[in-house]
């Protein structure tokens, strides 16, 4: 498969617009990620983005796993655990 076919360069205008409209929510989520103020907020934004992408598949296990991860991260204990992990990996908070 060549790049033109793989990345949709050969699509007609209406198909390109349809694809753009279908994936526009991903661009919005990536903007939220870019504006997140710290590692924990970035993690929440990443989970939201992954949940949206997982919703595009027919597999349920990824939806369920991400929902559980999000629920844990949104608790005080989950945030504390996340911050502990980041500090152990040498990240700044």
Q: Is the pTM of this model over 0.85?
A: no
Asked, for residue 32, whether it belongs to a domain, the answer is yes
Q: What is the pLDDT of residues 27-72, one digit of tens each?
A: 999 999 999 999 999 999 999 999 999 988 888 999 999 999 999 9
Within 10 angstroms of residue 31's Cβ, the number of other Cβ atoms is 11
What are 91's two structure tokens?
A: 């990240």
d(CA 44, CA 75): 12
**Orientation angle between helical segments 60-73 and 39-54, nearest 10 degrees:** 160
Quote the domain boundaries for residue 64.
24-88
d(CA 87, CA 22): 38
Asked, for residue 7, whether it belongs to a domain, the answer is no
Asked, for residue 74, whether it belongs to a domain, the answer is yes
Asked, for residue 29, whether it belongs to a domain, the answer is yes
**What is the predicted pLDDT for the residue at 44?**
95
- For the chain, the domain total comes to 1
Within 10 angstroms of residue 51's Cβ, the number of other Cβ atoms is 17
Helix (H, G, I), strand (E, B) or coil at 75: coil
75 compared with 56, residue with greater pLDDT: 75
């Amino acid at each position: 498969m060549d790049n033109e076919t793989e990345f949709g360069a050969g699509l007609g205008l209406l198909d390109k617009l349809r694809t753009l409209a279908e994936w526009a929510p991903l661009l919005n989520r990536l903007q939220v990620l870019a504006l997140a103020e710290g590692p924990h907020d970035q993690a929440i934004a990443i989970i939201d983005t992954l949940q949206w992408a997982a919703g595009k598949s027919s597999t349920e296990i990824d939806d369920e796993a991400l929902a559980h991860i999000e629920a844990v991260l949104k608790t005080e204990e989950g945030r504390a655990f996340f911050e502990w992990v980041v500090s152990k990996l040498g990240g700044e908070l």
